[in-house]
Amino acid sequence: MFVKTNTLLIGKSLVIKKAFFYLYKNKKIRNLSFRKSWNNLSLIGNFEHIIVSGFHFDICKMTKYELDNYILEYSAYIYGITNKCKKVYLICTDLNLPHSFSRVVYFYYNL
């Protein structure tokens, strides 16, 4: 028999949601939009695990200075979540690249 856990999945990606709800179908998982949680951390209650899969796609248009500030804001967002659970997991794209001009890659490496 599986033990039910209290997990929050932040992000609305259909692929991520489908995978987690399938893999953990015997566990209790709630889903919340990344943007809603970003704008209002009080929407996030206490959970055993929080899985974050999201960011603002506007980073693709930001200057390096704006992106560096966003990385600091995102870090503060993640730290704000950490006191609401035992463990935070961040899902990101595979970044096994020797060189890239991608702002998304820059974001994850600097996060």
* Residue 9 and residue 16 in contact, taking contact as beta carbons nearer than 8 Å: yes
Residues in the chain: 111
Is this prediction's pTM over 0.85?
no
Residue ranges per structural domain of the chain: 6-110
Q: Which helix (H) or strand (E) holds 90?
A: strand 85-90
- SS3 track for 30-52: EEECHHHHHHCHHHCCCEEEEEE
Q: Which two tokens stand for residue 73?
A: 């804001």
Contacts of 2 (CB under 8 A, 6+ apart): 26, 27
Would you give the end-to-end CA distance of the chain in angstroms? Answer: 38
pLDDT tens column, 10-58: 988 888 888 888 877 777 888 999 899 999 999 998 999 999 987 777 8
Instruction: Give the rounded distance of the alpha carbon of 57 from its chain centre.
Output: 13
* Residue 9 and residue 49 in contact, taking contact as beta carbons nearer than 8 Å: no
Sole residue written with tokens 């974050």? 52
Q: What is the pLDDT of residue 20?
A: 80
pLDDT tens column, 52-85: 987 777 888 889 899 899 989 999 999 999 999 9
